[in-house]
């Protein structure tokens, strides 16, 4: 390794202290930068445009997806931009390098009927089932990311006003309305199940059977189990509930701006993917029901 570890250390501190990014986001940047520097094996100031082009070509040859390559290039733009801002280098080798064109893949969603099947199969026969029903009702009813779900505390629920407080990317807080079904499921959980699970007096809303805060893998495993039991034959993840939330709102007449705010997207272009789903849905309706469809 010929590169300076200080170059990476200073960049990580910048992401944490000045940009106030979440630990997961900082770790992702760190992995991308270290992977690149290990590949080129040069000091930051010695890296040139040809090094970048060779790196991208190597990633393509290794059959990395366009999305992954684009993310890695984006990380490098920020990394070299930081060093220019600090006066450590004069120009960025990433200038005029185009990221691979991303394929616009529409996220798979669950229909309202499929979500009903998924929720109903959970039942309420045990504290964990009551927890899971509340968890998935909340994810679908409020469009939460898993990371947001796992970082909800008891005091973030406001039943009187029917809303919850969540912490999104970059620790940004937002207030989201609490739907009636999610509210009822949460009240059942807090009254019946959580007192049994709360063996360690935790502040987290959702707990394991041992009283610890839930993990991402724990949520994923429970979701997959119920998916199989419900008979829904789609390759989906808990994040699909967020996609479904957004799509069903648009299909019901919500504006794109409203959905953007609810999802916590800083850029409306991120939300626009769901308009494509909505158009597909409308096209299917016309094809199915119109005599000239």
Return the residue matching tokens 């309202």.
Answer: 112
pLDDT band at 151 (very low <50, low <70, confident <90, very high): very high
What angle (nearest 5°) sits at the alpha carbon of residue 265, between those of residues 259 and 266? 130
pLDDT digits (tens, 9 = 90+) for 104-147: 567 889 999 999 999 999 988 899 999 999 999 999 999 999 99
Query: Which of the listed CATH numbers 3.40.630.10, 1.10.150.130, 1.10.600.10, 3.40.50.970 matches domain 5-85?
Result: 1.10.150.130
Q: In the chain, where does the domain assigned CATH 1.10.150.130 lie?
A: 5-85
| Element housing 175 (H / E) | strand 173-177
Give this prediction's pTM.
Answer: 0.64
User: Would you say the C-alpha torsion 100, 243, 252, 254 has a positive or negative sign?
Assistant: negative
pLDDT digits (tens, 9 = 90+) for 182-223: 999 999 999 999 999 999 999 999 999 999 999 999 999 999
What angle (nearest 5°) sits at the alpha carbon of residue 114, between those of residues 112 and 120? 100
Q: In the chain, where does the domain assigned CATH 1.10.443.10 lie?
A: 112-288
Q: Which two tokens stand for residue 11?
A: 């960049």
Bridge partners, 151 (sequence order):
none
Return the residue matching tokens 């199915």.
Answer: 288
Q: What percent of the chain clears pLDDT 90, i.e. is strictly above it? A: 49
Superfamily (CATH H level) for 112-288:
Intergrase catalytic core (1.10.443.10)
Q: Which residues are catalytic?
A: 145, 169, 239, 242, 265, 274
């Amino acid at each position: 390794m010929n590169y300076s570890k200080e170059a990476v250390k200073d960049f990580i501190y910048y992401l944490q202290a000045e940009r106030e990014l979440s630990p997961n986001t900082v770790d992702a940047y760190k992995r991308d930068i270290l992977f690149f520097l290990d590949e080129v094996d040069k000091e930051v100031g010695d890296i040139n445009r040809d090094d970048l082009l060779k790196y991208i070509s190597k990633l393509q040859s290794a059959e990395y997806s366009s999305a992954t390559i684009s993310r890695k290039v984006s990380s490098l733009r920020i990394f070299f931009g930081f060093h220019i801002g600090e006066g450590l280098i004069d120009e960025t080798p990433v200038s005029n390098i185009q990221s691979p064109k991303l394929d616009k893949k529409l996220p798979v969603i669950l229909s309202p009927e499929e979500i009903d099947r998924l929720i109903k199969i959970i039942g309420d026969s045990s504290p964990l089932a009551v927890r899971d029903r509340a968890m998935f009702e909340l994810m679908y009813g409020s469009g939460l990311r898993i990371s947001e779900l796992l970082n909800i505390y008891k005091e973030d629920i406001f039943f009187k006003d029917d809303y919850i407080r969540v912490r999104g990317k970059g620790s940004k807080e937002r207030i989201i309305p609490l739907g009636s079904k999610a509210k009822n499921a949460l009240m059942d959980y807090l009254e019946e199940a959580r007192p049994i699970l709360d063996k360690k007096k935790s502040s987290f809303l959702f707990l394991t059977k041992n009283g610890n805060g839930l993990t991402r893998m724990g949520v994923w495993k429970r979701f997959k189990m119920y998916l199989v039991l419900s008979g829904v034959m789609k390759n989906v993840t808990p994040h699909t509930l967020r996609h479904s939330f957004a799509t069903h709102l648009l299909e019901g007449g919500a504006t794109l701006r409203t959905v953007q705010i609810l999802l916590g997207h800083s850029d409306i272009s991120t939300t626009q993917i769901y308009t494509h789903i909505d158009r597909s849905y409308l096209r299917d309706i016309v094809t199915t029901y119109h005599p000239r469809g």
